[in-house]
A = this chain, B = another copy of it.
Amino acid sequence: MRKDDRLDAGPIRPGEHLGKVPIRVRYAETDAQAVVYHSNYFVYFEVGRTDWMLQTGIPYSAVEERGFGLFIAEGHIRYLKSARYDDELIVETRLTELRTRSCTFHYCIRKDGEEETLVEGWTALVCLGPDGKVTPLPSDLIDAMRATAAL
């Protein structure tokens, strides 16, 4: 997907801004191994991304109201240590790539007050327009995202 992006929204210095959002593990998110079921970390990533977007001043819900959507195109995840019910986690989110039609976020999840990484990963998102086709991100959103990344 990202290879098809011919226009580049210009350089950002990745990871300068680090979003942090707390998550308390819900019972519903655990599985019979008594740990957080692995796919749920992508939901936690989404919580981190939603919060990061909120800090741009253009919440993702506003992007959708304008008929655009960011769809996950690719993702990667590494599980280093388990989280359990009622654990208080921190999701750290960085924008690591910003292109005309796509962007990539990296995430790191750890327990509140601890340094150790439990889970890390990234997701690449592509922008679709009202017609369902790949389209450039709205320019005010690109500006806001670049500004937030540089905070």
Contact = CB atoms under 8 A, between A and B. Distances in A.
Given A75-B76, A79-B74, A28 B46 contact: yes
Nearest to A49: B27
Contacts of A37: 27-28
A30 interface: yes
Nearest to A1: B78
How many interface residues does chain A have, given as a range? Answer: 35 or more
A71 B78 CA distance: 11
B86 A61 contact: yes
Contacts of A61: 84-86
B72 A50 contact: no
Given A27-B50, A37-B27, A50-B27, A32 B85 contact: yes
A43 interface: yes
Contacts of A28: 31, 37, 39, 43, 46
Given A26-B50, A28-B39, A31-B27, A79 B71 contact: yes
Interface of A: 24, 26-28, 30-35, 37-40, 42-43, 46-47, 50, 59-61, 64, 69, 71-79, 82, 84-86, 123
14 contacts: A24-B47, A24-B50, A26-B43, A27-B37, A27-B46, A27-B50, A28-B31, A32-B85, A38-B72, A39-B43, A50-B86, A61-B84, A75-B76, A75-B77
A79 B72 contact: yes
